Structures are given as structure tokens and as C-alpha cells.
Amino acid sequence: MKYVEFGTTGQKISAIAFGCMSLTREREANAKAAFLRAFELGITLFDTADIYGRGISEEILGEVLREGKISREQVIIASKCGIVSPGMNDAYTYKAYDLSPAYMKASCEASLKRLGTDYIDLYQPHRIDYLTHPQETARALDELKTEGKIRHVGVSNYTPDEIRALSAYIRVESLQTQFSLLHLEPLETGLASVCLEKKMNILCWSPLYGGILTGTKSLEHQDWQQQRESGVVTQVGEFARKYGLTSGQVSLAWLMHLPGGVIPLVGTANADHIQEATQAVDVQLARDDWYELMVIARGRPMPWRQRPYVYVRER
């Protein structure tokens, strides 16, 4: 396993992280086995959220740490709060976002109890709450840090301006956002640049685009979007054959080539899949190949100096 700098904390974290949305009661045994295999392979960052299974993911994460006799200091636990789904809180009958200090502090306490731990290494507002001033959100996070209940702050699904607004009041170490060869918005909207500016890691959720970039899923060709995705996957497969890798490994390696510590979050209940993913860590793609994959993903060439158009009136 390769390890990268974690923001400005001075810590090192694994170059691939394990996404714990797959920790469910329905596939508990397989999910726990995948978690333990990830830990054996050197993965140290495990990401969950209070909304995942309405707390079930956090419960199972706590259980597998105890059952596997894994020391708390050996792992970095990341969790999230702020999405309120009906049934999670009696005060809500409609799905909403809440980053008010009272709600965040209560959410953190509940997560700590489910995880069976005294602290969360990385605590992340899951979505922006338009009704709470970022200074208030920062105040709650700062108080949780002072109380020793969280160690570091990240954000999830924030825009560049939302990152800047919160960063004005508290240090933010990471951004969790959707990012893959089939979802390039972090590069095209300035998110990746802001993270470099702020020395924040990017944690990529759905780095294989729901498994489509593995090349193992069939797509409906009557759907124009799936036709596009199928074309990208076919061309990624050509690079996989060139490098002697799987399409999924090429897709993960492409992300990890970006500067600043870009970390794919791989969520799976299959131990073999997590082992395959970790083998992408040491893959070296040629610069030319990286950019060709970018062009394939964009569906258009990279910007280039073009001859200006000159209008000549016919006589």
C-alpha cells in the first residue's frame, strides 16, 4: 500500500480508502470479510455516515473493529452528518439538511455511540445546509474538536464557494465528492483547483461510476447516456489490455495520478474486488495515455490553440 499526506495534519493515509456504505445487515458476513481484507492490505481510511442504513453502517463498522481485535489507533474513521431522512429524527417528515450546532452535536454523539469509540478522526458535513451560516457550522465543529470528539474536519458534496465560506472559519482537510472518468466535474468546475489551493485531499465517491467502469456491467444501447458510457468503457478496456490490468484498475490509477492526494473510496462487499482495487496503487500511466483517457472521458479534444476564423466577404 502507498500512503499520502492527509491535508495539513502531518498524518499519512492509505492511497485508497474503503467506503462503508456496503456494510449492511443483508450482506453482513461478506461486507465484514471485505473490510478485514481491506485492513490486511494496508487500507487505513474507512468512510461511513449516519445516513448509511440509518446508522447500521456505523454499527457494523464498530462491530468488525471489535471482532477483528483491530486497535482504534490503527484506523482512521471518517463519518458524515447533516442529511436528515424521515425516520431518523422525529422533528422531520421530509428529507432535509441540518448543520445547525445543536443537530450536528447530537448527530456526533449518536455516531460515537454506534461506532463504539470516543472520537471520529474525520467528521464531514454531508451536504450544505442553506439555513445555517457557515460560521455556526464551524463553531459546532470547533467545539467538537475541543471536546476531543472529532479530530479533523472535512466536507462532502460542497461547491468551491461553499468550501471557501466554511474555510474562512475553520480548517478543512478534505472534500468528498463524486469523481471518476465518467464524472469529471471536479476538474471542470474548479473543485480540484480549490482543493490544491487549500491543501485538501479529494476523496472520490463512486470512482468506478457504480461499477460501470469495471467493464463488467451490460448497458442498454437504446439510452444515449448509456451509449456514451459504453463507448468510454470500451476504450478504457483497450488501455487495460495495453497495461495488463483490469478496466477498473486503470480507472482508479487515472484518479490517483492527480496531484494533491486524490483518494478513491472503494465500496464493496466482495473481498476480491477490494484486493483488485489496491493493486492499482502502484500503476504508472504514461502522461500521454493519461491525457488520451481524459479526452475519451470528455468526449472532445483538450483545449488547443486554433487558427482564428477570418471572415472574407465575397466580391
- Domain ranges (residues) in the chain: 3-212+255-278
Write the CB contacts of 156 (distance below 8 Å, at least 6 apart in sequence).
Answer: 80, 124, 125, 126, 127, 175, 176, 177
Residue 110, class by beta-carbon neighbours within 10 Å (0-12 exposed, 13-18 middle, 19+ buried)? middle
Q: Which residue in the block uniquely carries the three cell numbers 455511540?
A: 113
- Asked if residues 77 and 61 have their Cβ atoms less than 8 Å apart, the reply is yes
Predicted local distance difference test score (pLDDT) of residue 308:
54
- Asked if residues 202 and 260 have their Cβ atoms less than 8 Å apart, the reply is yes
- Asked if residues 116 and 59 have their Cβ atoms less than 8 Å apart, the reply is no
Catalytic amino acids?
A: 52
How many helices (H) and strands (E) are present in the chain, helices listed first?
11, 12
pLDDT in tens for each of the 315 residues of the chain? 999 999 999 999 999 999 999 999 999 999 999 999 999 999 999 999 999 999 999 999 999 999 999 999 999 999 999 999 776 766 776 678 999 999 999 999 999 999 999 999 999 999 999 999 999 999 999 999 999 999 999 999 999 999 999 999 999 999 999 999 999 999 999 999 999 999 999 999 999 999 999 998 888 777 888 888 999 999 999 999 999 999 999 999 999 999 999 999 999 999 999 999 999 999 999 999 999 999 999 998 888 755 555 555 554
- By C-alpha distance, which of 79, 98, 240, 260 is closest to 186? 260
Predicted local distance difference test score (pLDDT) of residue 221:
73
Q: What homologous superfamily does CATH list for 3-212+255-278?
A: NADP-dependent oxidoreductase domain (3.20.20.100)
For the record, the C-alpha cell of 66 comes out as 471489535
Q: What are 186-235's pLDDT values in tens digits?
A: 999 999 999 999 999 999 999 999 999 999 888 877 788 888 899 999 99
Distances (CA, A) of 99 to 82, 92, 125, 127, 227: 5, 14, 7, 9, 39
Predicted local distance difference test score (pLDDT) of residue 315:
43
114 vs 35: CA distance, rounded Å: 17
Q: Whole-structure pTM over 0.85, yes or no?
A: yes
Predicted local distance difference test score (pLDDT) of residue 66:
97
Q: What are 161-188's pLDDT values in tens digits?
A: 999 999 999 999 999 999 999 999 999 9
- Asked if residues 272 and 264 have their Cβ atoms less than 8 Å apart, the reply is no
